Structure 1
Amino acid sequence: MSHILCPVPRRQEGVMASYGHSVAPEALLPCTAPASLPLLCPDGQQDVLLTRQQAPQTVPASELPPKVHEVAHNTGAYTSSGLATAGFRTAKYLENEWYQNTYARYYQAFCDRDKSERQRHESRQLASETEALARRTQEDSTRKVGARLQDMHSWKSELQRQVDELVAETHLLLAQKRRLERALDNSALSFSIATDNLQHRERRQHPDLVRDSVEVELLKEAELIRNIQELLKRTIVQAVNQIRLNRQQKEKCEINWSDKAESYNIDDKCSRYHNDSVEVQFHPHSMAFEESASTPETWARFNQEILQRADRERLATVKLRELIDNILRDTAEDLRLQCDAVNLALEKRCEELEDARHKLEYHLQKTLREITDQEHNVALLKQAIKGKEAPLKVAQTRLYQRSQRPNVELCRDIAQFRLTSEVEELNVSLEALKEKLLEAEQSLRNLEDTRMALEKDMVVKANSLCIDRQQCLAHRARYPTVLQLSGYE
């Protein structure tokens, strides 16, 4: 407990008593102590402890003795007047005024000390309160900066995750793009094989130059390859655009991450500052907000929009990769199915050509044998015609000689009729033999033409077989596999 020491005269002995005056102690204490402070007033020999309830009330300033320099009049029973005191007659204070002035000095000193003590107490209290407030404020600011660091770290981690995922998805999409390019190159090889097959088959000879099932399947294959190439080109363009968007979004995320990393370092440095740091200094104008400064809402919305755009591009990349997988798988299957259909049609056509060639060889052999037989038949007919000449000569000679008979001997007897009928029969036989010879010779010529046609047709079939089997099928053996058409090789 604080005490205020006030000098007061002793009750029985003291300065006042020496002058013959009795002064009440309450007159010496015209002040009021603080509400919680008792008054301890020593008089040099004895202390008088006064509580606030015992202390007198403060004397108003109007009741204090006026400081008027009044001249003490030397009148009265104990005054001296005359020449002996003539030199001491001057303006002097009264004794009561001296006491009052002294007590006023005491009171003023006491008031000044009391006010100073209150100020010291209030100052200590204010210093303690401001120190505690500054400490609490600094701790709260440090916690806020720490929370901001955690928030910043979480956003940085999320941005880093998005960047890593975008990089991974971009690499996967680049691999898919390379697959598309390889598939496009392999489709060019497939298209060249199909067009070469069509060009080779254009060199077939008549009558094998026909629009058969092989040509139909080859045309289908060429059309399918052209459509697939257009699809692959469009998909490559789409993949390139998506890769560009991914890289743009990755760059934005990296810029945002870099800004957050710089801000994180600044906030981390700020969180490590304390009152004993040597780097701190006054910055009077640091409280002013920048015009371009964002609010927590716009800051969070900006970060959320960046993450949403990055996630949207990532999901688009995933869907595009799945689409590319489906496209490559379907196109490879379609091309291989069409290739198998062309190969099957070629094999079937080769079997038909082989069967036709075997049949042509069979018919050629039969025709050759028939030509031989017909040649023998022609020779036989010629021999038969030649064999009828002698009997005809004999019969005609007989008729000629018998026509030389004289007069009535020139008779139409039985012999004459018989010779006549014999000549007629021989002529009829000769005509029939000659007609049959003509027919046999015509048949022989037809057989020769047939033989030539069969041989020519056999050559055509051999040429067609060579084109379909040794050129088309052999060339199609280099047709890309499913893995190659899918872009893996």
Structure 2
Amino acid sequence: MPQTSILVTHAPAPQSVQVCDLPHKVYEIERNTGPYSSSGLATAGFRTAKYLSEEWYQNSYTRYHQAFADRDHAERTRHESKQLAAETEALSQRTQQDSTKKVGERLQDIHFWKSELQREIEDFITETDLLIGQKLRLERALDATEVPFSIATDNLQCRERRQPPDLVRDIVEIELLKEAELIRNIQELLKRTIMQAINQIRLNREHKEICEMDWSDKVETYNIDEMCARYTNQSTNIRFHPHSSTFEESASTPETWAKYSHDNIYRAEREKMASINLRLLIDNILNDTAEDLRLQCDAVNSAFAKRCEEMEDAKYKLEHHLHKTLREISDQENSIASLKQAIKDKEAPLRVAQERLYQRAQRPNVDLCKDAAQFRLMSEIEELNMSIKALKQKVLESEQALRNLEDSRMTLEKEIAVKANSLFIDRQKCLAHRSRYPTILKLAGYQ
């Protein structure tokens, strides 16, 4: 049979571990068929395929070397494992500390935005309450304008009951119309401002709700991260979550996260400034309208006082003329009576003169003479007739003058009654009603 050669080699030991270098040997294992084999007839029962002594030593040497190599590799692996365990432990601790630090920094960021949102919400609550107070002032001021408007319209209606010629478009009526128009314009302005305040309150509440939702998310996130920051290796409520390291598709970035809260606060600040400006505008509107109404009220009252003085003066003058007219009527009646008595007094002389002429007309014949006595009697009768005629004419004139005086008296009395009625309306009705005019505080919405 052909001889088989077996080459036994050993891999060199790693440089990190000092090992003994064994010589490399080559052994030829031959079958017991060579010239030195023991296969003979005498040893036929013992001529089996056995290893040689050299092979036995070589096998033992191989086992020793393999055991040494395995121990060396195990020692090296153990040393590397210990070193790797220490390194991974240190790395794990550093990583966990860094993660805890990052979570802590994140908690500070969350706390900052949470505090900003909470401050903004509190400011919104305060600002909205102040704006609601201003809206309440507007509503009270709007209700307060109903009294001045009713007073102005009532004054105008009362003054419509004046009698001619006092039914004139005087300064009082002009001022009352201006007052009514001013009140209507103020009411429209207050209504528009109330609607603006209502819209601003709605916007304030909407932005407050947005900030509250963001704040609520921040609180929940803060609680979660705070709980995560308290986790340690000794915590008992920790579990494995293999798929927790994957990012959610809807997850935000730190930039978009901060920008979201920043934009919410920016819009909230903008609406808050709009609310503050609206409150200042409402305050100015209420003060200006209250002042305008009081100034117009004073103008109307001044016009009433001036008009009452004019009517009082006119009434006094009319009464003065009435007094003189009544006295003149009395004198005129006495004069007429005197004239009639004078006419009556002329009747006797006229009868005497006519009787004389009648008797002298009875003279006989030539004694019926146109003597001086005859002419004088005739002239006397003519003079008496002329006097009676003149007196009668004067009586007629006096009676006409008396009738004129009576008409004038009636006119004066009517005028005085008209003035008294006008004064009653302006003083007793209008001015008395205007005493209920609201105060400037009530018109400004404070009461």
Q: Match of 2:102?
A: 144
1:274 maps to 2:232:
yes
Q: Shift of the alpha carbon at 1:452?
A: 1.8
Tell whether the 8 Å contact from 2:137 to 2:445 is kept in structure 1 after alignment.
Answer: yes
Are the structure 2 counterparts of residues 450 and 159 from structure 1 closer, same or farther at C-alpha, using a change threshold of 3 Å? same
Counterparts in 2 of 1:385-400, with a 5 A limit?
A: 385-400=343-358
- Supply the AA of the counterpart residue of 1:352: E
Q: Match of 1:334?
A: 292
- Supply the AA of the counterpart residue of 1:142: T
TM, length-normalised to structure 2: 0.92
Percent sequence identity over matched residues?
67
Q: Match of 1:32?
A: 13
Q: Match of 1:102?
A: 60
Q: Match of 1:428?
A: 386
Q: Match of 1:323?
A: 281
1:359 maps to 2:359:
no
- Supply the AA of the counterpart residue of 2:333: E
Are the structure 2 counterparts of residues 411 and 124 from structure 1 closer, same or farther at C-alpha, using a change threshold of 3 Å? same
CA distance in 1, matches of 2:312, 2:12: 143
1:167 maps to 2:125:
yes
3-state SS of 1:112 partner = helix
CA distance in 2, matches of 1:445, 1:106: 172
Counterparts in 2 of 1:30-429, with a 5 A limit?
A: 31-32=12-13, 34-35=15-16, 37-39=17-19, 56=21, 65=26, 68=29, 70-71=31-32, 75=36, 87-429=45-387
Q: Deviations over 1:328-364 (max 9, x none)?
A: 0111011001100111111111111221222222112
Report which structure shows greater RCO (CA 8 Å, sep ≥6): 2
Q: Shift of the alpha carbon at 1:310?
A: 1.3
Tell whether the 8 Å contact from 1:245 to 1:313 is kept in structure 2 after alignment.
Answer: yes
Per mean C-alpha deviation after superposition, the further-off stretch among 292-301 and 228-237 is: 292-301
The Cα RMSD (Å) is: 2.4
Counterparts in 2 of 1:5-20, with a 5 A limit?
A: none
Q: Shift of the alpha carbon at 1:293?
A: 2.2
Are the structure 2 counterparts of residues 80 and 443 from structure 1 closer, same or farther at C-alpha, using a change threshold of 3 Å? closer
3-state SS of 1:241 partner = helix
3-state SS of 1:208 partner = coil
Are the structure 2 counterparts of residues 402 and 239 from structure 1 closer, same or farther at C-alpha, using a change threshold of 3 Å? same
TM, length-normalised to structure 1: 0.84
3-state SS of 2:342 partner = helix
Q: Shift of the alpha carbon at 1:34?
A: 2.9
CA distance in 2, matches of 1:251, 1:86: 109
Are the structure 2 counterparts of residues 466 and 30 from structure 1 closer, same or farther at C-alpha, using a change threshold of 3 Å? closer
- Supply the AA of the counterpart residue of 2:422: S
CA distance in 1, matches of 2:125, 2:27: 96
Return 5+ residue gaps in structure 1 as ranges.
1-27, 40-54
Q: Match of 2:6?
A: none
Q: Match of 2:4?
A: none
Q: Shift of the alpha carbon at 1:86?
A: 5.6
Are the structure 2 counterparts of residues 455 and 254 from structure 1 closer, same or farther at C-alpha, using a change threshold of 3 Å? same
Return 5+ residue gaps in structure 2 as ranges.
1-8
Q: Shift of the alpha carbon at 1:393?
A: 2.0
Are the structure 2 counterparts of residues 74 and 92 from structure 1 closer, same or farther at C-alpha, using a change threshold of 3 Å? farther
Are the structure 2 counterparts of residues 29 and 225 from structure 1 closer, same or farther at C-alpha, using a change threshold of 3 Å? closer
CA distance in 2, matches of 1:30, 1:159: 71
